Amino acid sequence: MSNRLNLSATRSNLLRIKEELEFAREGYELLEQKREVLVAEVIGMLESLRKSKKEVEEILNKAYRSFEQTSVILGMKKVSQITLAACSREKIQVSDRSIMGVVIPIVNYSRENMLCNIYGFQGTSASLDKTVHLFCSSLKKLAKLAELEVSLIRLATELKKTQRRANALNYLFIPQYSETIKYLENTLEEKERQELFQLKRAKNIHHKNN
Protein backbone atom coordinates (compact mmCIF):
# COMPACT_ATOMS: atom_id res chain seq x y z
CA MET A 1 0.00 0.00 0.00
CA SER A 2 1.35 3.39 -1.04
CA ASN A 3 2.27 5.74 1.79
CA ARG A 4 2.79 8.82 -0.37
CA LEU A 5 0.86 12.06 -0.24
CA ASN A 6 -1.91 12.58 -2.76
CA LEU A 7 -0.47 15.53 -4.69
CA SER A 8 -0.52 16.69 -8.27
CA ALA A 9 2.73 16.04 -10.11
CA THR A 10 3.97 19.61 -10.51
CA ARG A 11 7.38 21.23 -10.14
CA SER A 12 6.10 23.55 -7.43
CA ASN A 13 4.81 20.62 -5.35
CA LEU A 14 8.09 18.77 -5.83
CA LEU A 15 10.16 21.76 -4.65
CA ARG A 16 7.86 22.34 -1.67
CA ILE A 17 7.96 18.70 -0.55
CA LYS A 18 11.75 18.61 -0.90
CA GLU A 19 12.06 21.69 1.32
CA GLU A 20 9.72 20.19 3.91
CA LEU A 21 11.63 16.91 3.86
CA GLU A 22 14.93 18.71 4.43
CA PHE A 23 13.36 20.61 7.32
CA ALA A 24 12.03 17.33 8.78
CA ARG A 25 15.46 15.71 8.59
CA GLU A 26 17.05 18.67 10.35
CA GLY A 27 14.30 18.48 12.99
CA TYR A 28 14.91 14.78 13.46
CA GLU A 29 18.64 15.33 14.02
CA LEU A 30 17.89 18.04 16.60
CA LEU A 31 15.41 15.77 18.37
CA GLU A 32 17.98 12.97 18.42
CA GLN A 33 20.55 15.32 19.98
CA LYS A 34 17.99 16.41 22.56
CA ARG A 35 17.06 12.79 23.27
CA GLU A 36 20.71 11.86 23.87
CA VAL A 37 21.16 14.74 26.32
CA LEU A 38 17.94 13.86 28.16
CA VAL A 39 18.89 10.18 28.37
CA ALA A 40 22.26 11.10 29.88
CA GLU A 41 20.56 13.45 32.37
CA VAL A 42 17.96 10.85 33.36
CA ILE A 43 20.59 8.13 33.85
CA GLY A 44 22.74 10.43 35.98
CA MET A 45 19.74 11.60 37.98
CA LEU A 46 18.55 8.05 38.58
CA GLU A 47 21.86 7.26 40.26
CA SER A 48 21.61 10.43 42.36
CA LEU A 49 18.01 9.53 43.27
CA ARG A 50 18.96 6.03 44.40
CA LYS A 51 21.75 7.48 46.55
CA SER A 52 19.47 10.16 47.98
CA LYS A 53 16.71 7.65 48.81
CA LYS A 54 19.22 5.42 50.58
CA GLU A 55 20.53 8.36 52.65
CA VAL A 56 17.00 9.44 53.61
CA GLU A 57 15.99 5.90 54.61
CA GLU A 58 19.11 5.49 56.72
CA ILE A 59 18.80 8.77 58.60
CA LEU A 60 15.05 8.36 59.16
CA ASN A 61 15.56 4.84 60.48
CA LYS A 62 18.15 6.21 62.92
CA ALA A 63 15.86 9.09 63.84
CA TYR A 64 12.88 6.83 64.60
CA ARG A 65 15.02 4.42 66.61
CA SER A 66 16.34 7.36 68.59
CA PHE A 67 12.79 8.63 69.05
CA GLU A 68 11.72 5.26 70.46
CA GLN A 69 14.65 5.32 72.90
CA THR A 70 13.80 8.87 73.94
CA SER A 71 10.17 7.88 74.48
CA VAL A 72 11.29 5.05 76.74
CA ILE A 73 13.67 7.29 78.72
CA LEU A 74 11.42 10.35 79.09
CA GLY A 75 8.01 8.81 78.55
CA MET A 76 5.59 9.63 75.76
CA LYS A 77 3.79 12.25 77.86
CA LYS A 78 6.99 14.24 78.41
CA VAL A 79 7.99 13.91 74.75
CA SER A 80 4.54 15.17 73.71
CA GLN A 81 4.87 18.19 76.01
CA ILE A 82 8.27 19.03 74.57
CA THR A 83 6.90 18.63 71.05
CA LEU A 84 4.18 21.19 71.78
CA ALA A 85 6.88 23.70 72.68
CA ALA A 86 8.76 23.10 69.45
CA CYS A 87 9.50 26.14 67.31
CA SER A 88 10.11 25.65 63.59
CA ARG A 89 12.91 27.72 62.03
CA GLU A 90 13.13 26.13 58.58
CA LYS A 91 13.27 28.03 55.33
CA ILE A 92 12.67 26.49 51.93
CA GLN A 93 13.28 28.39 48.71
CA VAL A 94 12.42 26.93 45.33
CA SER A 95 13.97 28.29 42.15
CA ASP A 96 14.39 26.59 38.79
CA ARG A 97 16.79 25.88 35.96
CA SER A 98 16.36 24.58 32.43
CA ILE A 99 17.76 21.45 30.78
CA MET A 100 17.01 21.32 27.04
CA GLY A 101 13.93 23.45 27.60
CA VAL A 102 12.71 21.38 30.58
CA VAL A 103 12.23 23.47 33.72
CA ILE A 104 13.33 21.58 36.82
CA PRO A 105 13.32 22.80 40.43
CA ILE A 106 16.20 23.74 42.69
CA VAL A 107 15.18 23.32 46.33
CA ASN A 108 17.27 25.18 48.90
CA TYR A 109 16.68 24.24 52.53
CA SER A 110 18.10 26.20 55.44
CA ARG A 111 17.39 26.90 59.12
CA GLU A 112 18.20 29.83 61.35
CA ASN A 113 19.58 27.91 64.31
CA MET A 114 21.58 24.73 64.81
CA LEU A 115 18.53 22.93 66.22
CA CYS A 116 15.22 23.35 64.51
CA ASN A 117 13.44 22.94 67.85
CA ILE A 118 13.95 25.17 70.88
CA TYR A 119 13.20 23.66 74.28
CA GLY A 120 14.50 23.89 77.80
CA PHE A 121 17.21 21.53 79.02
CA GLN A 122 15.43 20.79 82.30
CA GLY A 123 13.82 17.39 82.21
CA THR A 124 15.31 16.44 78.85
CA SER A 125 18.11 14.10 77.83
CA ALA A 126 20.96 13.64 75.39
CA SER A 127 18.76 11.10 73.63
CA LEU A 128 16.26 13.86 72.86
CA ASP A 129 19.02 16.08 71.47
CA LYS A 130 20.15 13.24 69.23
CA THR A 131 16.62 12.62 68.02
CA VAL A 132 16.08 16.29 67.22
CA HIS A 133 19.42 16.48 65.43
CA LEU A 134 18.63 13.42 63.29
CA PHE A 135 15.19 14.63 62.28
CA CYS A 136 16.55 18.10 61.51
CA SER A 137 19.33 16.60 59.40
CA SER A 138 16.80 14.53 57.48
CA LEU A 139 14.91 17.64 56.38
CA LYS A 140 17.70 18.84 54.08
CA LYS A 141 18.02 15.36 52.60
CA LEU A 142 14.25 15.17 52.09
CA ALA A 143 14.32 18.52 50.27
CA LYS A 144 17.04 17.20 47.96
CA LEU A 145 15.10 13.98 47.39
CA ALA A 146 11.97 15.94 46.45
CA GLU A 147 14.03 18.04 44.01
CA LEU A 148 15.43 14.92 42.35
CA GLU A 149 12.09 13.12 42.12
CA VAL A 150 10.26 16.07 40.52
CA SER A 151 13.19 16.73 38.16
CA LEU A 152 13.34 13.10 37.10
CA ILE A 153 9.59 12.94 36.42
CA ARG A 154 9.75 16.07 34.25
CA LEU A 155 12.83 14.93 32.34
CA ALA A 156 11.42 11.44 31.78
CA THR A 157 8.13 12.92 30.54
CA GLU A 158 9.96 15.18 28.09
CA LEU A 159 12.15 12.27 26.99
CA LYS A 160 9.04 10.26 26.07
CA LYS A 161 7.62 13.19 24.10
CA THR A 162 10.91 13.71 22.30
CA GLN A 163 11.16 10.01 21.44
CA ARG A 164 7.60 9.98 20.08
CA ARG A 165 8.27 13.04 17.91
CA ALA A 166 11.54 11.60 16.62
CA ASN A 167 9.85 8.28 15.81
CA ALA A 168 7.01 10.08 14.02
CA LEU A 169 9.50 11.91 11.82
CA ASN A 170 11.75 8.92 11.22
CA TYR A 171 9.13 6.24 10.60
CA LEU A 172 6.15 8.20 9.25
CA PHE A 173 6.85 11.71 7.99
CA ILE A 174 10.25 11.23 6.35
CA PRO A 175 9.38 7.93 4.56
CA GLN A 176 6.06 9.39 3.39
CA TYR A 177 7.69 12.50 1.97
CA SER A 178 10.57 10.51 0.46
CA GLU A 179 8.10 8.25 -1.33
CA THR A 180 6.10 11.26 -2.50
CA ILE A 181 9.23 12.91 -3.91
CA LYS A 182 10.17 9.72 -5.74
CA TYR A 183 6.67 9.51 -7.21
CA LEU A 184 6.64 13.16 -8.29
CA GLU A 185 10.10 12.90 -9.87
CA ASN A 186 9.20 9.73 -11.77
CA THR A 187 5.88 11.18 -12.91
CA LEU A 188 7.46 14.44 -14.07
CA GLU A 189 10.23 12.57 -15.90
CA GLU A 190 7.65 10.43 -17.65
CA LYS A 191 5.71 13.54 -18.65
CA GLU A 192 8.88 15.12 -20.03
CA ARG A 193 9.67 12.00 -22.04
CA GLN A 194 6.16 11.96 -23.44
CA GLU A 195 6.35 15.66 -24.33
CA LEU A 196 9.76 15.15 -25.97
CA PHE A 197 8.46 12.18 -27.90
CA GLN A 198 5.44 14.13 -29.06
CA LEU A 199 7.66 17.07 -30.05
CA LYS A 200 9.96 14.82 -32.11
CA ARG A 201 6.96 13.17 -33.71
CA ALA A 202 5.51 16.56 -34.59
CA LYS A 203 8.81 17.63 -36.14
CA ASN A 204 9.02 14.44 -38.19
CA ILE A 205 5.49 14.92 -39.49
CA HIS A 206 6.31 18.52 -40.31
CA HIS A 207 9.44 17.48 -42.24
CA LYS A 208 7.55 14.82 -44.18
CA ASN A 209 4.82 17.24 -45.17
CA ASN A 210 7.42 19.73 -46.41
Q: What's the pLDDT at 88?
A: 64
Given phi > 0 = left and psi -120 to 50 = alpha, else beta, which region is 81? alpha
Is 137 inside any structural domain?
yes
Look at residue 102 and tell me if it is in a domain: yes
Quote the number of domains for the chain.
Answer: 1
pLDDT confidence of residue 85? 67
Q: Residue 195's domain spans which residues?
A: 15-209
Asked if residue 7 belongs to a domain, the reply is no
Residues of the chain with pLDDT under 70: 1-2, 85-88, 112-124, 204, 206-210
Q: Is residue 3 part of a domain?
A: no
pTM exceeds cut of 0.85: no
Residue 180 lies inside a defined structural domain of this protein: yes
Residue 157 inside a domain? The answer is yes
Can you give the length of the chain in residues? 210
Distance between CA atoms of residues 17 and 28, nearest Å: 16
Residue 141 lies in a domain: yes
Give the CATH number of the domain where residue 125 resides. 1.10.287.3240
Question: What is the pLDDT at residue 203?
Answer: 72
In sequence order, what are the residues at sequence separation of 6 or more whose Cβ sits closer than 8 angstroms to the Cβ of residue 150? 104, 105
Which pLDDT does position 119 carry in this prediction? 59
15's torsion region: left (phi>0), alpha (psi -120 to 50) or beta?
alpha
